[in-house]
């Protein structure tokens, strides 16, 4: 430390520091927010993680019942919970190689300094994968011959999933990549490649390369009241090994995706405790 208050070896400075610390500790005891989780539980406050939020609830009573056909995913779905970091588990980073873990640490420290790196979504670019599927906004699924379309409220992201066909040999690199799908019994399997490397895997800033490959397995559960996703993420450049996680989206027939104009300004804020993106 430098400056008059931090000069070592002066009695006055030591007294002042002790006084300030007493105030700080007393203030902490009164407010008593739980200490934030840190990367690898290091306890280093500069590596504090943004905790998960509650996210959307289930449809209110009296809403239209879910469709019983397991191959009919049409309608509006809304993510349960909102994870800022979702590797193999909540608050656990993806298995990044050491050099990419250092980049993640740099980004978390920048965030905690109040100067986060501007990722794609904050510039009104599409969110990328798998992060888009982790966004706490409604998703409307539309099924037409040969296609399943995901219309995301957030920043009017759109995913076109082409059924029963292969990826092109050299797909152009885009924010949301090239997605193809097929049914395995009652599970929709979506395979995505051709992703550019301008997006983060998660809100904390885990890196991926253009060799990112995601495999999503969607299945209606609980009589169609929920849609389960098993997401598998592979990236031989940034990851030590692939990893998977599970997410649940609630059937929300009472919700209509709204006009979302990121390009104007994101004016959304939490409403009644339901989270929306910061």
Task: Name the residues that contact other proteins, by CB under 8 A.
Answer: 67-69, 71-72, 74, 123-126, 142-146, 149, 151, 156-158, 160, 172, 174-176, 256-257, 259, 261-264
| DSSP H or E stretch at residue 231 | strand 226-234
State the nearest-atom distance from the C-beta of 8 to other proteins, in Å: 45
State the nearest-atom distance from the C-beta of 126 to other proteins, in Å: 6
Q: Which residues contact 137 (CB under 8 A, 6 or more apart)?
A: 78, 79, 152, 153, 154, 257, 260, 276, 277
Q: Which is nearer to other proteins, 33 or 172 (CB)?
A: 172
**Spatial distance between the Cα atoms of 258 and 207, rounded to a whole number of angstroms:** 30
Q: Which is nearer to other proteins, 1 or 166 (CB)?
A: 166
Q: Which is nearer to other proteins, 125 or 197 (CB)?
A: 125
State the nearest-atom distance from the C-beta of 142 to other proteins, in Å: 5
State the nearest-atom distance from the C-beta of 228 to other proteins, in Å: 21
State the nearest-atom distance from the C-beta of 217 to other proteins, in Å: 21
Q: Which is nearer to other proteins, 12 or 261 (CB)?
A: 261
Q: Which is nearer to other proteins, 21 or 183 (CB)?
A: 183
State the nearest-atom distance from the C-beta of 224 to other proteins, in Å: 12
State the nearest-atom distance from the C-beta of 130 to other proteins, in Å: 17
CA dihedral 243, 215, 206, 124 (to 10 degrees): -160
In this structure, is the dihedral angle defined by the CA atoms of residues 178, 119, 109 and 114, taken in order, positive or negative?
negative
Q: Which is nearer to other proteins, 94 or 194 (CB)?
A: 194
Q: Cβ distance 28 to 34 under 8 Å?
A: no
**Spatial distance between the Cα atoms of 206 and 261, rounded to a whole number of angstroms:** 26
User: Alpha helices of the chain — where are they, by DSSP H?
Assistant: 11-31, 98-112
Q: Which is nearer to other proteins, 144 or 272 (CB)?
A: 144
Q: Cβ distance 104 to 93 under 8 Å?
A: yes
Joined together, the tokens standing for residue 165 give: 């066909």
Three-state DSSP string of 189-225: EEEEECECCCCCCCCCCCCCCCCCEEEEEEEEEHHHC
């Amino acid at each position: 430390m430098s400056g008059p208050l931090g000069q070592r070896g002066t009695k006055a400075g030591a007294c002042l520091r002790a006084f300030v610390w007493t105030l700080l500790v007393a203030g902490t005891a009164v407010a008593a927010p739980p200490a934030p989780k840190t990367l690898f539980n290091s306890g280093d406050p500069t590596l504090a993680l943004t905790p998960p939020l509650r996210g959307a609830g289930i449809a209110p009573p009296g809403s239209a019942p879910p469709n019983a056909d397991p191959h009919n995913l049409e309608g509006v779905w809304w993510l349960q919970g909102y994870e800022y970091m979702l590797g193999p588990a909540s608050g656990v980073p993806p298995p990044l190689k050491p050099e990419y873990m250092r980049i993640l640490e740099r980004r978390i420290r920048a965030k905690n300094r109040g100067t986060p790196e501007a990722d794609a979504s904050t510039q009104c670019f599409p969110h990328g994968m798998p992060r888009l599927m982790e966004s706490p906004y409604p998703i409307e699924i539309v099924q037409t011959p040969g296609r399943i379309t995901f219309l995301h409220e957030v920043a009017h992201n759109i995913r076109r999933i082409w059924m029963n066909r292969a990826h092109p040999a050299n797909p152009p690199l885009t924010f949301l990549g090239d997605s193809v799908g097929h049914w395995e019994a009652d599970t929709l399997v979506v395979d995505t490649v051709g992703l550019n490397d301008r997006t983060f895997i998660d809100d904390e800033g885990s890196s991926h390369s253009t060799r990112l490959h995601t495999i999503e397995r969607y299945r209606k559960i609980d009589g169609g009241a929920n849609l389960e996703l098993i997401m598998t993420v592979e990236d031989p450049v940034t990851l030590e090994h692939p990893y998977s996680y599970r997410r649940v989206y609630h059937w929300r027939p009472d919700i209509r995706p709204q006009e979302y104009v990121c390009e104007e300004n994101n004016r959304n804020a939490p409403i009644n405790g339901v989270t929306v993106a910061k």
